[in-house]
Structure 1
Amino acid sequence: MLLERKTTLTELAQRVGITVSNLSILKTGKAKAIRLSTLDAICRELDCQPGDIIVRVDDDE
């Protein structure tokens, strides 16, 4: 989505109001949870739906 929207992680972090490091953790899939308000803000800024940017992964993968 970042590439499609021609935006950087830094720009998105500033617009959403979270740190680049926290956004990077979300991007790499290392986060165990995300606040719905953060997900909403990201989707609003990227003009997308949650299913466009997140996938479900089993714990053993």
Structure 2
Amino acid sequence: MLELFAIGFEMHKRVIDMHRQGVEAARDMGAAMARDVETALAARPAEAGMEAVTGWLRLWGVRG
């Protein structure tokens, strides 16, 4: 019985670790996307920057 508890506990720890890694990856992707938008806005006129933002929104399925 104790062995089953230990196995279940270890599996639960692994699931938590995988979830944490997924959250960290999503946070990194969000930061990279924000940097890309900032770079596009700084490098181009405002009109081109809005096109870049609109492109990102379309990429993620947001229609406006």
TM-score computed with the length of structure 1 as normaliser: 0.28
User: Which has the greater radius of gyration?
Assistant: 2
TM-score computed with the length of structure 2 as normaliser: 0.27
Q: Which has the higher contact order (CA 8 A, sep 6+)?
A: 1
Return the structure number with greater helix share. Answer: 2
